[in-house]
Amino acid sequence: EAGVTQFPSHSVIEKGQTVTLRCDPISGHDNLYWYRRVMGKEIKFLLHFVKESKQDESGMPNNRFLAERTGGTYSTLKVQPAELEDSGVYFCASTRTSGRSNEQFFGPGTRLTVL
Amino acid sequence: AQSVSQHNHHVILSEAASLELGCNYSYGGTVNLFWYVQYPGQHLQLLLKYFSGDPLVKGIKGFEAEFIKSKFSFNLRKPSVQWSDTAEYFCAALSGNTGKLIFGQGTTLQVKP
């Protein structure tokens, strides 16, 4: 079974540019989570999809961030326009159901650097 | 608001030393706790989890953690570390019913051969 994959692994952009991160969850996993770790800080929740619906987007920093999951398969996270403080590692995780006992499987992360 | 804190940010040990990494949580309801590990160049993976029952939880690679409700703690232990345990360790708590995780700041463990 393939794990959670993320693309790109690393992105370097200039302030004001747009970047789109992609996450492919494990096949059959309805639940998809985005997290972010800013350097030196803890990993923080951004949002949660159940299939194509946003279940919880309470962690999204502001309206420069847009997440989608059309068709309930892969998800994209777009940052437009990017700011310096958006730099960090963006993680994606998936689970089959959102039950409390389910382990979240994490992707390798995308390291975003905004110059 | 629910939070998780890890006391040690950077730990250096020699091989065969015993390990204990501290984790405290703040939450009054049902507690579900996890320890994740990220080895260099790899993705986060689950070490162990606690949901209910025996407060002493055993995980992979010889790790264990003890849930102490009275102390709001879930410390990670290993009796004898190896060089291959060099990694960053994260304590996390499940928040609400949607399954989102609240993480601690992470602890970097460096094991000297």
Output the pLDDT for position A99. 64
User: Has residue A7 got a pLDDT over 80?
Assistant: yes
Please report, as a single letter, which amino acid is at residue A69: R
Q: How far is B90 from chain A (nearest CA, A)?
A: 9
H/E element, B35: strand B33-38
Determine how β-strand B64-68 pairs with β-strand A43-50.
unpaired
Output the pLDDT for position A98. 62
User: Has residue A66 got a pLDDT over 80?
Assistant: yes
Q: How far apart are CA A32 and CA A55, in angstroms?
A: 10
User: Has residue A113 got a pLDDT over 80?
Assistant: yes
User: Confidence band (pLDDT; 50, 70, 90) for B99?
Assistant: confident
Interface of A with B (CB under 8 A): 3-4, 31, 33, 35, 41-45, 48, 55-56, 59, 91, 93, 95, 98-104, 106-109
Arithmetic mean of pLDDT, A37-50: 93
What's the Cα-to-Cα distance from B101 to each of A59, B16, B61, B81, rounded to whole Å?
A: 11, 32, 23, 27
The chain B residue lying nearest A43, using CA atoms, is: B103
pLDDT in tens, A101-111: 678 999 999 99
pLDDT in tens, B18-76: 999 999 998 767 789 999 999 998 999 999 999 889 999 999 999 999 999 999 999 99
Q: How far apart are CA A50 and CA A67, in angstroms?
A: 13
Q: Where are the beta strands (DSSP E) in B1-113?
A: 3-6, 10-14, 19-21, 23-26, 33-38, 45-50, 56-58, 64-68, 73-78, 87-95, 100-103, 107-112
Q: How far apart are CA B62 and CA A13, in angstroms?
A: 42
Q: Nearest by CB to B98, which of A44, A56, A107?
A: A56
Arithmetic mean of pLDDT, A15-35: 96
Output the pLDDT for position A14. 97
